[in-house]
Amino acid sequence: MLIVDNLAAGYGHVQALKGVSLKVDDQAVVTLIGSNGAGKSTLLKTISGLLKPKAGSIVFEGREIKGLDPDKIIARGIAHCPEGRKVFSELTVKENLEMGAYLEKSKAKVEARIENIYASFPILKERQSQMAGTLSGGEQQQLAIARSLMLDPKMILFDEPSLGLAPIIVDLVEDIIIKMKKRGITILLVEQNANMALRVSDYAYVIETGRIILHGPSSELKKDERVMKAYLGQLEVCRV
């Protein structure tokens, strides 16, 4: 569904991606794991059009999307759920959800999507009239995810959905990803929480300083000594 080939991108003289290639099959969950500053967010920003690449190609459903403006990429069916629980704090939960469906002209369809969201995220229904800025961190993350779903995307780019959340909310995020996969949404998940990412994904890539250094089925990468040492072991220590 998505083929990224030899992608190079950066900020001024900072070369954040140095020829990244990866692919995401239709309805698969693919994860990209890596430490701080490895280039994970840059890759997602480049795919969603927020950052213009310097070289390489990005093909989605057989068509080149590299260099298109973000609204055109959204219209093709790719939603980007950015890092940091970005919600409109001065709007209510329901207004945030309505904003998420801004491409949909039919009010009835928007309402139906909101009802669907409420069925999967009951806390958002309870809080629908509350200002988003007053929600807890975990609730804001759920709202950010739900808002991306309001676009009814074919594919979601998830940037660190578990960052800074309590373990119980991380479990909830994991459940949400599993449910989205069951609904047929293709997912590219960027995570530092390698334990969760490898559990929930079919295939994984490891990125270090702008280069893919390892990739394979998640079930195999979980057992890879380099991954265990650099990403999984570290996390166990953090959890203790």
Binding residues for ligand ATP (CB under 6 A): 11, 14, 16, 34, 36-42, 83, 192
Distance, CA of 208 to CA of 110 (rounded, Å): 40
The Cα 236–Cα 154 span in angstroms is 34
Radius of gyration of the chain (CA): 17
Residue with tokens 């958002």: 124
Distance of closest approach, residue 193 Cβ to ligand ATP, in angstroms? 11
Min dist CB 39 to ligand ATP, Å, is: 4
- Give the other-Cβ count within 10 Å of 1's Cβ: 19
Which C-beta is closer to ligand ATP: that of 16 or that of 196?
A: 16
Q: How far is the CB of 226 from ligand ATP (least distance, A)?
A: 18
Distances (CA, A) of 151 to 97, 109, 207: 9, 11, 29
Calpha distance 163→33 (Å, rounded): 13
18 or 76: CB nearest ligand ATP: 18
Between residues 78 and 101, which has the closer beta carbon with respect to ligand ATP? 78
- Whose Cβ is closer to ligand ATP: residue 40's or residue 85's? 40
Structure tokens at 201: 């994904």
Q: Which CB sits closer to ligand ATP, 70 or 77?
A: 70
Nearest to 5 by CA among 73, 65, 58, 54: 58
Strand partners, 9: 17
Which two three-digit tokens encode residue 228?
């265990």
Q: Minimum Å distance from CB 186 to ligand ATP?
A: 20
Rounded CA-CA distance 108/40 in Å is 37
- Name the minimum Å distance from CB 105 to ligand ATP: 34
Q: Are strands 186-191 and 155-159 parallel, antiparallel or unpaired?
A: parallel
Least Å from the CB of residue 163 to ligand ATP = 8
Q: Which is nearer to ligand ATP, 30 or 124 (CB)?
A: 30
